[in-house]
Amino acid sequence: MPQSKSFLTRMLTWRYKYISQDNFVLVMSFVVGLLAGIVTLTLKNITFSIQSILEHGIIISNYHLYFILPFIGLLFVYLIKKYFFTKILTPTVPPFIKRSIPSLLYSLLRQKGLLSPRLIYQTLITAPLTVGFGGSVGLLGPAITSGSALSSNLGRLLRVDKKTRLLLIACATAGAMASMFKSPIAAIVFAIEVFSLDLTFASLLPLLIASISSVLTSYFFLGDEQLFNLDVTDKFMLEDTLFYMILGVGTAFASIYFTKMYFAIYELFERFKTRLLKLIVGGLAIGIMLYFIPPLYGEGLSFINNLLEGRYMDALGTTPFDNYTDNIWVVIALLFGITIFKAIAMTTTFAAGGVGGVIIPTMVMGSALGNVVAKVINNIGLGFHVSEANFTLIGMAGLIAGVIHAPLTAIFLIAEITGGYELFVPLMITVAISFLITKNMLEHTIYTRELALRGDLLTYNRDKNTLLLMELDRIIERNFITITPDMKLGEILNHAVAKSNRNIYPVVDADNKFLGIILLNDLRKIMFDQKLYDKISATDLIENAPAMIFYKEDTMEEIMNKFETSGAWNLPVIYNGTYYGFVSKSKLLTAYRRKLKDYSEK
């Protein structure tokens, strides 16, 4: 162990001597992209291996076991979490954060980007079990979590600073997405949109390098294999503009439904007292849904591919309604059912204890809705005809833009998946409408709502981000001399005024409960009249504070607003009903300026 420490020390010393910080970040971004690509491919291969074993073994020999496989997978995840991952490693994520991307956003803000090493390998075990056994979730979220944890701990090992560590986590995110979809441009945009990064050369170049190294890793191991097999043959027609606008509206309301259903199901499962009960209820619910709608099984990538290739019967699979699928409207109804129930199946998988991601289920839901809209237009009897494959693709983009509020990611992802930009105009039409409607009706996404409600969300607003990054503990002053309400004027002068250079004195009772303040300006008027020393007490001089700061309740933005509205230069801090200290406006503004300078240099 001492030898390894000595080697690491020598290596770091050599690095500081011969490699500049900027070049070091570029090298690290390449390494992180490479590792994120390997993690993503490992995750996919483990999952596909599990699926292959099940599909060629259990499912073919006993079709009825198909519907209980998700329950078995969730049971394995439950047992592994309970018996193998019980030890909590710091830093930990608060229990109110339920998904991988929100946990990363929280870590970037409150934990300096320090992620537990456990996350590197835990998701590589639990996510394949969830998805491989048919849980209706995706693999991108776990790939991002594992890759980000790997980059965070690599940065910790190499003793990088906080700014570099945060950038490396964004690089890992871009790398995971680039490897998953072979879409390097969309991966860069995704990291910028989700993590609210400033689009500067200092951040863009490392993201670009990480994305390239990750996608090259994917090509090295998978060759030219594509996630979706489609070449766009139907070009954009001007007369289809109205229909793409209709699709934009449809995907917007589907996104709103998706988000509301997500939180509603979580709230429902919170009523169950134990994780085992959540597992049982969730597993049974998923099994029932799979019986009627088999495409809800697993990620759903084969479902999307079948729709893109026009094989909608293969996409639907074997259902209890096979005798009626000669009627196109029954097919449309079944596809619309997938649009409705994919969100339910996905969230139920999460709430029951499964591990997975949101992006690919969103794409499945969008592909079904886009195909439904195209089939309705083509079969309504008005003589219109649109490309069902194109609408399937653009439906995915509309849902992504609406669900995670990432319109540029949606556009570039679908454009890169198709291998060209023939659909760029309809993509922009549908995505813009979906995003604008959803953003106006839902301010926050399933990624950001939990964080925003607690004041823990970074945005593109630099002033708000600066306030979020500030720590109240660093500016609270505790050296104010307190006064009790029964103190006489003479005692106040001897105990407080003579021993303090402050012009404000907090008044507290025997239990340290804050009662008010006494100002030095009020004391000056009477402090030299010795006749009043035994006649006037603190209760005669006390007055209410202009405002109060509540420790661990008020955000820094709220504190700043209290200073502005009250006009005060010092405000008391209250913690659990008791006096805790003071915050001065001058110290708050000084800390704000320093933090703003640090943030601007990222």
SS3 content of the chain, % helix, strand, coil (to 5): 65, 5, 30
In 3D space, the residue among 142, 138, 447, 137 whose CA is nearest the CA of residue 286 turns out to be 137
Specify the CATH number of the domain 465-600.
3.10.580.10
| Cis-peptide into 91, omega within 30 deg | yes
Please determine, for residue 4, whether its predicted confidence score (pLDDT) is greater than 60.
Answer: no
Find residue 517's DSSP bridge partners: 506, 543
At 110 the pLDDT is 65
pLDDT tens-digit map of 554-587: 877 888 888 888 888 889 999 988 998 898 888 8
| Comparison of pLDDT for 327 and 227, the residue scoring more | 327
Distance CA 330, CA 341 (A): 16
pLDDT tens-digit map of 133-187: 988 898 998 999 899 889 888 888 887 777 788 888 889 999 999 999 888 999 9
8 Å CB contact between 182 and 141: no
89: confidence class by pLDDT, cuts 50, 70, 90 = very low
In 3D space, the residue among 168, 188, 192, 165 whose CA is nearest the CA of residue 178 turns out to be 188
pLDDT-wise least confident of 8-17, 498-507, 546-555: 8-17
pLDDT-wise least confident of 462-466, 532-536, 540-544: 462-466
Please determine, for residue 98, whether its predicted confidence score (pLDDT) is greater than 60.
Answer: no
What secondary structure, in 3-state letters, does 165-194 show?
HHHHHHHHHHHHHHHHHCCHHHHHHHHHHH
Which two three-digit tokens encode residue 540? 């005669």
pLDDT tens-digit map of 413-429: 988 887 667 788 999 99
Q: Which helix (H) or strand (E) holds 580?
A: strand 578-584
Distance CA 536, CA 366 (A): 75
Could you tell me what percent of the chain has a pLDDT over 70?
84
Does this chain's domain 16-222 share its CATH topology with 465-600? no
DSSP per residue, 72-139: HHHHHHHHHHHHTS-S--SS---TT--SHHHHHHHHHHHSTT---THHHHHHHHHHHHHHHTT-S-BS
Distance CA 102, CA 116 (A): 15
Q: How far is CA 212 from CA 169, 182, 416, 572, in A?
A: 16, 10, 14, 52
Q: Which helix (H) or strand (E) holds 518?
A: strand 514-519
Provide the mean pLDDT of the chain.
Answer: 83
Cβ neighbour number for residue 520 with a 10 Å cutoff: 15
Q: For the whole model, what pTM was predicted?
A: 0.78
* Domain positions in the chain: 16-222, 241-454, 465-600
- Domain 241-454 fold: Clc chloride channel (1.10.3080)
Please determine, for residue 5, whether its predicted confidence score (pLDDT) is greater than 60.
Answer: no
What secondary structure, in 3-state letters, does 197-248 show?
CCCCHHHHHHHHHHHHHHHHHHHHHHCCCCCCCCCCCCCCCHHHHHHHHHHH
8 Å CB contact between 260 and 302: no
Find residue 579's DSSP bridge partners: 574
1: confidence class by pLDDT, cuts 50, 70, 90 = very low
What is the homologous superfamily of the domain 16-222 according to CATH?
Clc chloride channel (1.10.3080.10)
Burial of 325 (0-12, 13-18, 19+ CB in 10 A): middle
Q: Where are the beta strands (DSSP E) in 259-384?
A: none
